[in-house]
A = this chain, B = another copy of it.
Amino acid sequence: MNKINRILTVLGGLFLVLFSWVTPVFAAAAKTPKFVPGNIAWVLASTALVLIMTPALGFYYGGMVRKKNVLNTISLSFITICTVSVVWILWDYSMAFGPDAFLGIIGNLKYLGLAAMGVNQHSRYDGTIPSFIYVMFQLMFAIITVALISGSLVERIKFSSWVVFTIIWVTIVYAPVAQSVWGIGGLFQKMGALDFAGGTVVHINSGVAGLAGALVLGKRKGYMKENIVQPNQLAYTILGGALLWFGWFGFNAGSALEASGLAASAFLVTNTATAAAAISWMLAEWIHSGKPTTLGMISGAVAGLVAITPASGFVNPLAAIVIGLVVGVLCYSMVVFVKPKLGYDDSLDAFNVHAIGGAWGALATGLFADPLINPAGRGLFYGNPHQVVIQLITILSVAGYSFVMSFIIFTLIDKFMGLRVSKEQEAMGLDITQHEESGYNL
């Protein structure tokens, strides 16, 4: 017994040591899991990647406009980073991702100023990472969503009005849409809508707002009458597109919120759909207009990135190819056939690419979601036709809400401070008239 006693004592002692170390793991596993440095590392890196997407968008857009508007176009994206970053901390994160306050469409104000958020608080959305990084990751989505809208408005919107717009729109359009699609207890979230990285929240939302803005603003002087298309430096557009592609890995694979097989899968389908869409747009243009343009390739790539976004955590590689091939032709057709016919001046095709590409992506998620990739999603082709219905409801609801609200916001801004620069300013260019700067001294 002595021997047994001694052994037991030793064992017990060791056990205590061990237990005190092991317990929190279990406890945490039961409630909040421990922070996982690998996950934090990936989401931090992803957040930086998504940040660079907005200046990248500025260059993507900036290369396409006339040289007299290049700085203004880039700065519409740039200032959006600044305004939304501050607004997000002060109130908007709380409205978008705070505990639901009302019907699953708006968060409460618990996180106003982030004052109530501790540095080591586990995120409500993935307990293996801190709340602060989730706040930042989501901020980058909010920023680019707003910045995308500018693509429909460039070469004629007043800079000051744009600044005011960004603050209002991110508050009363972006926050409710984010909460209802992604928020815990969000309206469409509860319905089972699938949107891995923002097909509805980011792309449909912004593209439709862009269309509303283009309609309120009216067409640029000379649109469809003379050649007002003289891209000042298309290499900027390629640079921007390439950095968008780069950053989008953070956007989509980062949306897994962990460094896992799912993140890898999202990464893979993102790249695949993008490549397929670039080829598809290029071929469509080659056949239809006779030449494969560099702008066509890069536009197709962006369309592919848009379309795979909602699907990226749900579909397999072959579905990604299909999604990409379809969106390339689809957006090309929008730009070439639909836009001139309907006559709206969606200057750089924010609506044609983001709203339409995003809608196709959201729908395709309902078609192709493969439970072997992610058990959380099962689409029509895997036996769940209901998912398509949910997706359609979400698409239409988000598009409808965004269009109506954006139209109202643009109209009110127009009333109160004027939305559009004067005719002379438009002719002289927005760089000089809005900023007293010029893009080139070569």
Q: Give the interface segment out of A80-88, A202-210, A395-403.
A: A80-88
Neighbour of A44 across the interface among B81, B267, B293, CB < 8 A? B267
Chain B residues with Cβ under 8 A from A39's Cβ? 37-38, 41
Neighbour of A242 across the interface among B52, B118, B249, CB < 8 A? B52
A261 contacts B by Cβ under 8 Å: yes
| A 49-108 contacts with B by CB, 8 A | 49, 51-52, 55-56, 58-59, 62, 66-67, 70-72, 74-75, 78-79, 81-86, 89-90
In the complex, the chain B residue whose C-beta lies closest to that of A237 is B71
- For chain A, what secondary structure do more than half of its interface residues adopt (helix, strand, loop), or is it mixed? helix
The reply to whether B442 and A440 contact each other, CB–CB distance below 8 Å, is: yes
Please tell me the number of chain A residues within 8 Å of chain B, measured between CB atoms.
127
Chain B residues with Cβ under 8 A from A249's Cβ? 44, 47-48, 51
A235-267 toward B: CB 8 Å interface, digit per residue (1/0)?
110110011011001100100001111111101
Neighbour of A22 across the interface among B18, B250, B434, CB < 8 A? B18
* Cβ distance A168 to chain B, nearest Cβ, rounded Å: 16
Chain B residues with Cβ under 8 A from A329's Cβ? none
CA distance A231 to B442 in the complex (A): 9
The reply to whether A268 and B22 contact each other, CB–CB distance below 8 Å, is: no
CA distance A79 to B238 in the complex (A): 11
CA distance A235 to B71 in the complex (A): 7
A230 contacts B by Cβ under 8 Å: yes
A393 contacts B by Cβ under 8 Å: no
CA distance A232 to B135 in the complex (A): 38
Which of A160, A253, A271, A292: most chain B CB closer than 10 A?
Answer: A271
Please give the residue numbers on chain A whose beta carbons come within 8 Å of chain B beta carbons, in ascending order.
4-5, 7-8, 11-12, 14-15, 17-19, 22, 26, 35-42, 44-45, 47-49, 51-52, 55-56, 58-59, 62, 66-67, 70-72, 74-75, 78-79, 81-86, 89-90, 113-115, 118-121, 129-133, 135-136, 139, 159-160, 230-236, 238-239, 242-243, 245-246, 249-250, 253, 258-265, 267-268, 271-272, 274-276, 278-279, 282, 289-295, 297-298, 301, 316-318, 321, 372-374, 434-442
